[in-house]
Amino acid sequence: MSQHTSVVERLGDGIVNFYLIDHPDGLVLVDAGLPGHLAQLREHLARTGRTERDIRAVLLTHGHPDHTGLAAALHAAGADIWLHEHDAPILADGPRSAMRHAKPERSMMPYLLRRPAAIGTPLHLARMGAFTAGPVREVRTFDADRILTEVPGRPEAIVVAGHTGGSTAYLFAEFGLLFTGDALVTADGLTGHTGPTLVNRGFTQDSANALASLDRLAQVPASLVLTGHGEPFTGSPQAAVEQARLAGQR
């Protein structure tokens, strides 16, 4: 990731990622982590004399609470919050509504019984305040692929429904950066799998759509894939997708 370090910083922790893009036209956050990450974000910004008020836009890949935790605070600080219209009701109703608006195909229980260590993921989210964030009702939405001309860097929103109905990837073409959220990850906290993969069905709303959306990601021209969970994937989205298909979905 060295060639991109002057542009993008990976924030979060060992379970959840979100990203700060330092574009000449302004700061952009891709996803918004957990409420417990606010101090980390503030400390990171303070190193360059900035605050959360300098973040112009927050691009949410989907509405799950481990990706939207700081959205309310950043919106209050002046940032535009962007999200596919399908997932906007989750943000408007608050993080506890995620199961109602984007119910997973399977229960988490079989995964926890098969791999008891997996309980660490939901416990971590709870400790970091995943279900305590306030609602955000004033958001900027889109309903299909589009270039977000209002956002620094003019990223392209690419709809990759499946994980949730409004899951979206963002391409910053000038930097070769593709942010996939949970449409494709490199670590799955419930199954313990590492490497490019689809998120398990215990966290996925529609696995058939998630699988089909991999075709869209494979066509994106980028040199670095940054996911919602796991390490960066250096290489093409097509190569990441090939590995994800081989891994299958659990």
Q: What is the rounded distance in angstroms from the CA atom of residue 163 to the CA atom of residue 213?
A: 10
Q: Please determine, for residue 35, whether its predicted confidence score (pLDDT) is greater than 50.
A: yes
The 10s digit of each residue's pLDDT in 119-142 is: 999 999 999 999 999 999 999 999
Would you state the pLDDT for residue 6?
A: 64
Q: Which domain holds residue 235?
A: 2-247
- What number is the average pLDDT over the span 23-34? 97
Q: How many CA atoms lie within 13 A of 177 on its CB side?
A: 28
Residues with Cβ within 8 Å of residue 49, at least 6 apart in sequence: none
Q: Which residue has the tokens 């979905």?
A: 249
Tokens of 76: 């209050």
> pLDDT category, 73, cuts 50, 70, 90?
very high
Q: Please determine, for residue 51, whether its predicted confidence score (pLDDT) is greater than 60.
A: yes
Quick one: DSSP state of residue 75? H
The 10s digit of each residue's pLDDT in 155-184 is: 999 999 999 999 999 999 999 999 999 999
Of 5, 3, 12, 54, the closest CA to residue 35 belongs to 12
Q: Please determine, for residue 75, whether its predicted confidence score (pLDDT) is greater than 80.
A: yes
CATH code for position 86: 3.60.15.10
Domain count within the chain: 1
- The Cα angle at residue 223 between residues 26 and 71, in degrees rounded to 5: 40
> pLDDT category, 88, cuts 50, 70, 90?
very high
Q: What is the rounded distance in angstroms from the CA atom of residue 169 to the CA atom of residue 145?
A: 10
- pTM equals 0.96
Q: How many CA atoms lie within 13 A of 17 on its CB side?
A: 24
Share of the chain above pLDDT 70, in %: 98
Q: Please determine, for residue 1, whether its predicted confidence score (pLDDT) is greater than 50.
A: no
Q: What is the rounded distance in angstroms from the CA atom of residue 94 to the CA atom of residue 111?
A: 26
Q: Where are the beta strands (DSSP E) in 160-234?
A: 168-172, 177-181, 185-187, 194-197, 224-227, 233-234
